[in-house]
Amino acid sequence: MIGKKLGNRYEILQKIGGGGMALVFKAHDDFLNRPVAVKVLRDQYAGDEDFVERFRREAQAAASLCHPNIVNIYDVGKEDDIHYIVMEYVEGQTLKDLVRTQGPLDVMQAVQICIDICEALDHAHRRKVIHRDIKPHNILLTADGDVKVTDFGIARAATDSTLTHTGTVIGSVHYFSPEQARGRFTGEKSDIYSLGVVLYEMLTGSVPFDGDTAFNIAMKHVHDDVRPPRDVRQIPEELDAIVMKALEKDPGMRYQSAREMLDDLVSFQKKHGGWQDVRPRFEVPAKQEGGAAVGKAAKRNPSGRRRNAFWYIWLVLFTIAVVVVGLAAREFLNWLNVPTVEVPDVTGVALHEAETTLRQKGLRSAVVAQRFDDAIPEGHVLSQTPEAGELVRQGREISLVLSRGPEVVIVPDLTGKPFREADLLLRAEGLEFGGVVYEHDDVIPEDSVISQTPRPGMPVPKGTLVDLVLSKGPEPVPVLLPSFTGLKLEEAEARLLELGLVPGKVVYEENPDFQEGVVITTDPPPGAELSVGDTVNLVVAKGGVPANSRMITIAVPRGGSESVGVRIEIVDVTGSRTVYDERHRPGDVFRLVVNWYGREARLKVYINDVFTYEDLLRQAE
């Protein structure tokens, strides 16, 4: 690549970095006479058309960002099989390099850097651009201490494509949000979580989670609690609370926007002395050629070649002389013939205004194509050839491409559809997911769409974000565990299944007060509040004695002519239960055999549900 000129404009000078997705070169922009950084896709990604298209679209979206804390993207292009992005060249180092060499940063220095990153994220999020790969490697520090965030929007192109085709994710798992680790939807709050990890590392010198494999680290983000930075290093409690709120595993518990986190950081800064110029500064070696625009700084490789230098100099001077003479001759001939004019810039203006402007310059115009565009209104000039500023002869035809405005699509009806199917339907229409909220619903199945915004059938510009409300299924109903004491094992298990509970282990205990095979108690105990599907263990009597029996005589009181209700209860070690409930005439006398467990029991008699008397029953000696 060294020495190659891309787009007939960007001359590649040297390699200055690289990652898993692209190689980065320092280049010279011949047209604007300035240094730039050129990121070139690696071959394995350049051959994936779907990836390249998404990469290009996301890079163009990021190019719309204009903020002092964001590395500018100048151009996106393709030459042969080479796909590249041209961006601002930043001479300096990455935040990762600073933490690696310096260790934990000064508290106010870390806060100021985080404030600058928050401002960059707030600017991007307001324009619906999500970074998805916030990490110290993508935070650049200039020699003057200015903070710049790079690779906006590019991580999304990489993640969407690789998740679809290979099941892997480009990026550093140390800075993943829990939803990224689960492969679920990522949005603004995912950037906030990753920024929380960056602030944690600046304050402590280490990341919250580490492990032997990427999978282990990702699972720690999902399941493990973060050790508060205050336990690692003495920092103010307010700053510790800011870090821990940004690192909440539930997105709903995190900061809801970068602006909200920014406000807390600024309040902390004011409380502890206000803004101070604590930005890290360092000297850039005079002979250093690389920069931290996209990776590590690279040193110039001194050639040391001086052989034939004299002849090379004369050859260059001779070539320059020939070129100058040729250009002078051409300009002279042009001057003798048709006058030249500078092409005016008519991009972004209405067609009739563009035609008038060109006509006043003695130029002709022709509309050669029309294309959809999200930024330029319909009927306005999207691009022109030759470009503005070029010198052409009067009478030259300027080719114009008009904007058709945003491409409009109809929002599909996603109600009731599973998340994966809704994803495919949105992508097929050129739409994207916005926010996702989960709610309980008694009708819509789990992980299916309850509602959406915009509503179905609405015409919207292509690329519009669609917010979804997904179902968490019916809200769980608590189950109050009753007492099964005295029931046979089979009866207790059947009753558990009726309640939606799962019979668990059966533990046998010797207890002389219970008949063998009868339930003594449960684990958890009666009265516990459970959920459907919970397991209940049963404690059953082993080697017990048979139930005691006795014949009793009941005399119904005299008086009155109407029948009365007679109810008899037995209270023993198994609890209280009704053993007889019938109606009798006043004065009736009848006999009844009752059974009880344990050494003794109480027999209670109720007449018309009014307690009348009780008797004590004892086991025969």
Please identify every residue annotated as catalytic: 133
How does DSSP classify residue 105? P
Distance CA 420, CA 257 (A): 27
Residue with tokens 């700084």: 297
Write the CB contacts of 5 (distance below 8 Å, at least 6 apart in sequence). 11, 12, 30
Residue with tokens 């960007």: 10
How do strand 432-439 and strand 465-471 relate by DSSP bridges?
parallel
Is the bond preceding residue 208 a cis peptide, omega within 30 degrees? Answer: no
Contact (CB, 8 A) for 104 and 165: no
DSSP for 311-356, please give it.
Answer: HHHHHHHHHHHHHHHHHHHHHHHHHHSSPEEEPP--TTSBHHHHHH
Contact (CB, 8 A) for 387 and 347: no
Distance CA 96, CA 140 (A): 9
Write the CB contacts of 382 (distance below 8 Å, at least 6 apart in sequence). 347, 371, 373, 376, 401, 402, 403
- Ramachandran area for residue 127 (φ above 0: left; ψ -120 to 50: alpha; else beta): alpha
**Quick check: helix, strand or coil at residue 558?**
coil
Burial of 485 (0-12, 13-18, 19+ CB in 10 A): buried
How does DSSP classify residue 190? H
Query: What are the Cα distances from residue 393, in Å, to 111, 342, 363, 398, 401?
Result: 57, 9, 8, 11, 21
Distance CA 132, CA 160 (A): 11
Q: How far is CA 557 from the centre of its chain?
A: 78
How do strand 519-523 and strand 478-480 relate by DSSP bridges?
unpaired
Amino acid at site 62: A
Distance CA 177, CA 155 (A): 14
How do strand 22-29 and strand 535-542 relate by DSSP bridges?
unpaired
Tokens of 532: 């459907």
